[in-house]
């Protein structure tokens, strides 16, 4: 419940205010932002942009990743790195994250209706959202509403992080199994930056690893990053997983990743995240 969550955030804020004056400004800032996020959630002010993932070989479109955007009246565009943590702290992410999954399916249905061969859409899912008891039932309802008959999982994939896996391994595996049975693909995002144990990885019903862009960004200059990327690709293929490189910004990086047999590439070199209509236009033009 969103207003209860906000109330909790406020209560916590007051307590902190009491102890540490230098935290005041910070906490007050967070509260102001959280309040505006709550209004944004009520007024449906969030948007999704979509960034293509392409096959490393041949360059065909494999799918798109949905990325949330928030235009705050006062501040303009606020980056997700700033507002997603606030949504998580306040619990708002349960509702807003669910909205994102639904919106991705709405947009995908729109592309189909326009006669476009709709790509699969991958939506990022926060740990809090995933661990909520309502998550799996919510997804079930969405697939009943949006399942399109000829595409596994209604064309929906999700991206989760290593931290999620490590909090409750058995519970996570059970939920992921359920999602896989529904035909939903599961990728481990930002792989290489978290703490997941490699032995768990083999037991997880995931289909892809996404190499974090911090490695990709420096791969041409850093032999360590190059070796890490190579190791991740070998590991992924050994476990029969697809491997995706995120944050590919140059042709040189793309070339190296192809040489290393990376399966899919994503990054500004190919396309920036774009509104649903822009993606549709570029797909129907090609
Ligand atoms: P992520 O899932 O790892 O998404 C990749 C981020 O890298 C995106 O940032 C994308 O715009 C950016 N990116 C893509 N290609 C390039 C590139 O070539 N160079 C550089 N420098 N950056 C690139 P964005 O959109 O700011 O999102 C940041 C993070 O916020 C995401 O990281 C994800 O963890 C989170 N996020 C975004 N949307 C959602 C959402 O709907 N739900 C949840 N739970 N988290 C979300
Ligand atoms: Mg992602
Ligand atoms: Mg990522
Ligand atoms: Mg990330």
Q: Is 77 in the pocket of ligand 1 (CB under 6 A)?
A: no
Indicate which ligand has the atom closest to the C-alpha of 186.
Answer: 2
Q: Is 246 in the pocket of ligand 1 (CB under 6 A)?
A: yes
CB count in 10 Å sphere of residue 235: 17
Q: Say how many Å lie between the CA of residue 128 and the centre of ligand 4.
A: 16
ipTM exceeds 0.90, yes or no: yes
Q: How far is it, in rounded angstroms, from Cα 142 to Cα 150? A: 16
Q: The tokens of 256 are what?
A: 């190296």
pLDDT by residue (tens digit) across 212-268? 999 999 999 999 999 999 999 999 999 999 999 999 999 999 999 999 999 999 999
| pLDDT reported for residue 21 | 55
Region of residue 79 (phi > 0: left; psi between -120 and 50: alpha; otherwise: beta): beta
Q: What share of the chain is helix, strand, coil (3-state, %, to 5)?
A: 55, 20, 25
Question: Which pTM value belongs to this model?
Answer: 0.90
Q: Say how many Å lie between the CA of residue 182 and the centre of ligand 4.
A: 25
Q: Is 273 in the pocket of ligand 1 (CB under 6 A)?
A: yes
Handedness of CA 260, 254, 156, 81 (dihedral sign): positive
User: Of all protein residues, whose CA lies closest to atom 35 belonging to ligand 1?
Assistant: 80
Q: Is 134 in the pocket of ligand 1 (CB under 6 A)?
A: no
Q: Is 18 in the pocket of ligand 1 (CB under 6 A)?
A: no
Query: What is the position in ligand 1's atom list of the atom closest to the CA of 266?
Result: 15
φ and ψ at residue 69, rounded to 5 degrees = -130, 140
Residue partners of 137: CB distance under 8 A and separation at least 6: none
Question: By percentage, how much of the chain surpasses pLDDT 90?
Answer: 70
Task: Indicate the pairing of strand 274-275 with strand 264-265.
Answer: unpaired
Q: Say how many Å lie between the CA of residue 67 and the centre of ligand 1.
A: 6
Q: Could you identify the residue written with the tokens 């995120």?
A: 246
Find, among 96, 186, 182, the residue nearest to 140 by Cα: 182
Q: How far is it, in rounded angstroms, from Cα 205 to Cα 175? A: 10
Handedness of CA 274, 153, 263, 116 (dihedral sign): negative
Q: Could you identify the residue written with the tokens 């989760």?
A: 160
pLDDT in tens, the chain (286 residues): 444 444 444 444 444 444 455 667 777 788 888 888 888 777 778 999 999 999 999 999 999 999 999 988 778 889 999 999 999 999 999 999 999 999 999 999 999 999 999 999 999 999 999 999 999 999 999 999 998 777 899 999 999 998 887 778 889 999 999 999 999 999 999 998 877 677 788 889 999 999 999 999 999 999 999 999 999 999 999 999 999 999 999 999 999 999 999 999 999 999 999 999 999 999 987 6
């Amino acid at each position: 419940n969103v207003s209860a969550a906000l109330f909790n955030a406020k209560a916590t804020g007051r307590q902190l205010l009491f102890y540490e004056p230098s935290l005041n400004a910070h906490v007050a800032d967070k509260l102001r932002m959280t309040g505006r996020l709550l209004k944004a959630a009520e007024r449906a002010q969030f948007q999704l942009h979509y960034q293509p993932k392409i096959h490393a070989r041949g360059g065909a479109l494999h799918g798109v990743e949905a990325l949330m955007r928030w235009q705050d009246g006062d501040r303009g565009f606020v980056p997700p790195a700033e507002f997603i943590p606030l949504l998580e702290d306040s619990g708002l992410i349960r509702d807003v994250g669910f909205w994102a999954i639904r919106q991705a399916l709405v947009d995908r249905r729109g592309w189909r209706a326009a006669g476009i061969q709709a790509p699969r859409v991958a939506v990022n899912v926060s740990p809090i959202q995933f661990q909520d008891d309502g998550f799996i039932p919510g997804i079930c309802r969405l697939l009943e509403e949006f399942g399109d008959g000829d595409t596994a999982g209604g064309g929906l994939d999700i991206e989760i992080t290593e931290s999620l896996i490590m909090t409750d391994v058995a519970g996570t595996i059970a939920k992921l199994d359920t999602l896989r049975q529904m035909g939903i693909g599961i990728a481990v995002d930002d792989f290489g930056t978290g703490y997941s144990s490699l032995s768990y990885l083999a037991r997880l019903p995931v289909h892809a690893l996404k190499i974090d862009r911090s490695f990709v960004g420096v791969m041409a200059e850093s032999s360590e990053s190059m070796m890490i990327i190579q190791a991740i690709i070998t590991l992924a293929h050994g476990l029969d997983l697809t491997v995706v490189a995120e944050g590919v910004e140059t042709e040189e990086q793309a070339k190296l990743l192809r040489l290393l047999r990376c399966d899919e590439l994503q990054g500004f070199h190919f396309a920036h995240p774009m509104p649903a209509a822009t993606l549709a236009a570029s797909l129907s033009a090609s």
